[in-house]
Structure 1
Amino acid sequence: MSDPVRLCELRDTALSVDEVLAAVADRTAGGLCVFVGAVRDIDHEREVAALDYTAHPSAHERLRDVCEQVAARHDVVALAAVHRVGHLDVGDLAVVLAASARHRGTAFDAARDLIDTLKSTVPIWKNQAFGDGGQEWVGLP
Structure 2
Amino acid sequence: RGQYIPGLKINGMDVLACKQAVAFGKQWAAEGKGPLVYEFVTYRYGGHSMSDPGTTYRTREEIQRMRSTQDPIAGLKQKILDWEVATESELKSIDKQARENVDAEVKEAEAMPAPDATPKILFEDIYVRGSEPEYLRGRIPEENFYYEKN
TM range (shorter): under 0.3
TM-score, normalised with respect to structure 1: 0.25
Higher gyration radius (CA): 2
TM-score, normalised with respect to structure 2: 0.24
